[in-house]
Amino acid sequence: EVQLVESGGGLVQAGGSLRLSCAASGFTFDDYTIAWFRQAPGKEREGVSCFNKEYSSVWYADSVKGRFTISNDNTKNTVDLQMKSVKPEDTAVYYCAAGRAFCGMGPPIYSGHYDYWGQGTQVTVSS
């Protein structure tokens, strides 16, 4: 059974840092693109970043470029999202997802291309 479990969310002050982790079971990262999405209250779910291990490719939304970094921790079998210089507009529930989707330079990632989802972790940035 494929399972994704997010952790690391919490309350952080604007300008601070937070690290989210997505732990996977039931599959290997070699077979899927792993993505982070977020959804703020009253807003649509939006793609934040993705990582494809096979092609060593990544993608970031313009709103997080230069502040967020996605990486794969082989020792823990996680895909992490390092968030720096966070802003109040980063407040949202963050979800990790897995799918056989393209990840790289191009249009924003689309949630419909991802088959497996975690339960989400809340990130709240105070001003």
Question: How much is the pLDDT for 2?
Answer: 87
Give the pLDDT band (50/70/90) at residue 107. Answer: confident
Amino acid letter, 114: Y
Percent of the chain with pLDDT over 70: 100
- Mean pLDDT value of segment 98-125: 93
Nearest Cα residue to 45 out of 98, 120, 102, 104 = 120
pLDDT at 106 over 90: no
Contacts 24+ apart (CB under 8 A), 25-30: 25/1, 26/1, 26/2, 27/2, 27/98, 29/53, 29/72, 29/77, 29/79, 30/54
Q: DSSP letter at 114?
A: -
- Mean pLDDT value of segment 80-84: 98
